[in-house]
Structure 1
């Protein structure tokens, strides 16, 4: 073999090696697992209920009251609804779960007469946790 052929062969191998290193490397990937995620809320705004039918009945001497929630409009996105009832001095007298019959009615012992206030609101309780989103309240007054 002549020196010329050896240099040509060596130059050809070198040029081939350099061209392979200069080009982009091929990448291969394969995915074999799938999964479904449940939607998670990072922020939520719960509006106040649009309306409620709440009535108060007073005993003859006015010392005992009964409050009944006949109906209320549910809050979109909420999975729990609650009423808070405040006596005339502004003290929380009752909190009720509006999803249960026992939570829709309150009968007091001796209480002061005057104007009572109620708040009805929706909550979103995050499943599997103690976290919850608290909505705005629909407020109203009842007089005895």
Structure 2
């Protein structure tokens, strides 16, 4: 009796499983295709080097230098311009913001003066962030006049 009961129970389970397989829904197969293209939400800009600059250096007794940016050509797409002045050993002496009067003139402390150099470049500072695109550099040399 027990084996007949096991057989009936196994048969009932098989019937329920088979009914579920045959009466259940089949898997959905779908393919999606879209040919629209959105316009890109970004842009790029190349920041060139300034075309020219008029930077002079005057010295007092050969031991104190004053460097002045008289003029420079602005860079298209740049919203900030900067000068860096290097001493005769290549050490950075000064970094100036060329949009401010104080950034256009630098007077050194007492030191041996030789041929100095400068770099002027434009930047695009991305509003609301600390990111900036850096432009190419205009380099020049300075000697006492």
Question: What's the TM-score once normalised by structure 1's chain length?
Answer: 0.69
Q: Matched residue of 1:44: which SS?
A: coil
Judged with a 3 Å threshold, the aligned counterparts in structure 2 of structure 1 residues 120 and 41 are, in CA distance, closer, same or farther, namely: farther
1:87 alignment partner in structure 2: 87
Structure 2 residue runs without a partner (length 5+): 1-39
Judged with a 3 Å threshold, the aligned counterparts in structure 2 of structure 1 residues 74 and 53 are, in CA distance, closer, same or farther, namely: same
1:137 alignment partner in structure 2: 137
CA distance in structure 1 between the partners assigned to 2:71 and 2:42 by the alignment: 28
Query: Does structure 2 retain, via aligned residues, the 8 Å contact 1:53–1:70?
Result: yes
Q: Matched residue of 1:74: which SS?
A: coil
Higher mean Cα deviation, 103-112 or 120-129? Answer: 103-112
CA distance in structure 2 between the partners assigned to 1:102 and 1:40 by the alignment: 38
Judged with a 3 Å threshold, the aligned counterparts in structure 2 of structure 1 residues 41 and 70 are, in CA distance, closer, same or farther, namely: farther
Query: Does structure 2 retain, via aligned residues, the 8 Å contact 1:96–1:104?
Result: yes
Query: Does structure 2 retain, via aligned residues, the 8 Å contact 1:120–1:139?
Result: yes
Query: Does structure 2 retain, via aligned residues, the 8 Å contact 1:55–1:69?
Result: yes
Question: How well do the aligned residues superpose, as a CA RMSD in angstroms?
Answer: 1.5
Judged with a 3 Å threshold, the aligned counterparts in structure 2 of structure 1 residues 41 and 125 are, in CA distance, closer, same or farther, namely: farther
1:46 alignment partner in structure 2: 47
Runs of 4+ in 1 over 4 A off after TM superposition: 39-42
2:65 alignment partner in structure 1: 65
Judged with a 3 Å threshold, the aligned counterparts in structure 2 of structure 1 residues 106 and 98 are, in CA distance, closer, same or farther, namely: same
Structure 1 residue runs without a partner (length 5+): 1-38
Aligned residues: 105
